[in-house]
Structure formats: C-alpha cells, structure tokens
A = this chain, B = another copy of it.
Amino acid sequence: MSQGEFDLIARIRQRVASRDDVVLGIGDDCALLAPPPGMQLATTMDTLNAGVHFPPETAPADVGWKALAVNLSDLAAMGAQPAWCTLSLTLPQADAAFVDGFCDGFFALAQRHGIALVGGDTTRGPLSIGIAAHGIVEPGMALRRDGARVGDEVWISGTLGDAAGALAQWKAGEATTPALRARLDRPTPRVELGRELRGLASACIDVSDGLLADLAHICRASGVGADIDADALPASVALRAAFDAGTRRVLQATGGDDYELCFTAPVSQHAAVQALASTLALPFTRIGRIVEGSGIACDGIGQNKFGYQHFA
C-alpha cells in the first residue's frame, strides 16, 4: 500500500457513515459485523468496467452511484434490507478529484438506503469498480427466481427501455435525451419495492440484462414459460418521444440497465399488488402470464436480439 493509496482510502473513509452492527469498519485486515440473530444474509457482488458497463466519459459521481445501485438492485430483487458493502476501486492513477466525485454519488445512494461501507481496497489498473453488498432477510422470505407458478401474473415496475434508449443514442453519436441518460447513469434500485414484495410475489428478478433475458431466468428456474404482451410494456414519455414504435418496443423488451423489478404473483394477489403500487407511488404494469412449458412468447421479439453481450 502506497502513500497514494492511503490518501485515497482516507478520502473515502471520512465519508463513511457507520451502523450499530458494524463492530469494526475500515482499517483492519477485515471488517467485523454482527448479523442479527436468526436472520439470513443475502450476498451479491457486481463489477463495472469503464467502456463496458458505462461510457468512459461518465461523471465520477454517476459511476459511484451506479456501481452501488446495481448491487442494491440485486438485494432489492431478493427482498433483502441493505446492510453492509465493500468496495474495490481500481484506478489508472491516484486521482483525488475522481475519488471525491465518486464518493459524492456513492454515498448519496448509500445514505438513502442505510448501507455502510466497511472495507475493500484501492488498486492501480484500468478503471473498474467492484462492490460486494450484503443485506438481511428473514428465513424463508427471500424473493427467489424459482417460485413462479402457472397462472401467475407477470408484473414490471416503472418503465422499460429508458437506459437502453440512452445507450443507443450514445452509441449512434447522438445527443442523449436527459431523462433517458439519467436512467442510464443514475438507476433507482427498487429496494422498498423488494421489501414489500415479501409474501406477495412468487418470484422476482431485477432487469439488468433486458426484460426477456431476465424473465427467462425466472422461467428456467421455475420450470415454466411466459406469455408477454409486447404492447403492454410500459414506456416513458421520453422514450416515446425519442424513438419510433418499432425501435422502442425492442428497447423495452430487450434493453438492459433499467433495474426495475420483474416479478410474478398469484392472481389472488392482483388487488394487493395494485394497492402496493399506490402506496409506493410507483406504477406497476401487468405485462403477461406464467404458462406451462418453457420459453417466452412475446409477439415475435427474440429474447436475445438486443440483450447485452458481455463476451460478444
């Protein structure tokens, strides 16, 4: 560890808010944590690489926000309450201005969800952000992918295709629509929604790779198929204004990075789901049904046509 690394860690450390269950935070070989007795831990780890997961010119604050958001979204998709995280920050050089900006976004979101940064490291290399996040969930109450049953309704929160729309504009060298770009750079992890879906949803996943690709994970894990109504997929006003109907529908069905929750629930919970949307002031849309068989029917849109390809 060099003086440069010490300085960066000090800059990060001074921003940290702790929690009562953090026995020992940043500064030793490990953090020491006291999980609440009788609860389970939900654990996830996601890495974002510059130029792969975000445009290289993305503002440091947006990078910090998004790196945490994608991990919080995994906790949300399990119905877990965020608790602790560790950060592995790889930078081309010791860049205090980058770290300060990164912290602005990272800690703004961390504070919102009461998640404490308890450790990690800084290393030298191409810009990359690895985060491991841990949440708490009651035994048997986690939202898994394998609980969808034939006849269940398929729901999606918010709107789809916004982040993919911004990315499509960026790739085409066009100016990005601010409302769409905000969805790409500052996704909202649906943590409260995930918590409220415990006991209500039969299966849940966050939309990171594209609706059809992610719903396919639920179908495979549950041993079922799905019928999706492409016309029912929710679109924002900004997306409708920026793309023709055909392009928009593909972005909605196959574009990634929206971080909405796609969940299934028995028909008997239809009214409860609608009531929850009202409580959270977050629109839900019923986009289809779970059916016997395998695979997803969606008016002819291939599920991998535009899905994100890490190793394409």
Copy count, this protein chain: 2
Segment of A11-19, A158-166, A170-178, A205-213 engaged in the interface with chain B? A205-213
Chain B min CB distance to A229 (Å): 24
A169 at interface (Cβ–Cβ under 8 A)?
no
Question: Which chain B residues lie closer than 8 Å to A24 at the CB level?
Answer: 142, 144
For the complex, is A221 an interface residue (Cβ under 8 Å from B)?
yes
A28 to B139 Cα, complex, angstroms: 16
Closest-CB distance, A109 to chain B (whole angstroms): 18
Flag the segment in A35-43, A148-156, A279-287 that touches B: A35-43
Asked whether A123 and B49 contact (CB < 8 A) given A2-B311, A311-B4, the answer is: yes
Interface size class of A (residues with CB under 8 A): 35 or more
Q: Which residues of B contact A192 (CB under 8 A)?
A: none
Question: Among the listed stretches A70-78, A100-108, A244-252, A291-299, which one makes contact with chain B, having 4 or more residues with CB under 8 Å of it?
Answer: A70-78
Query: What residues make up the interface of A, taking CB atoms closer than 8 Å to B?
Result: 1-5, 8, 23-24, 27-35, 37-38, 40-49, 51-53, 73-75, 77-78, 80, 84, 86-88, 90-91, 93-94, 118-126, 128, 130, 132, 134-135, 137, 139, 142, 144-146, 204-206, 209, 213, 221, 304, 307-312
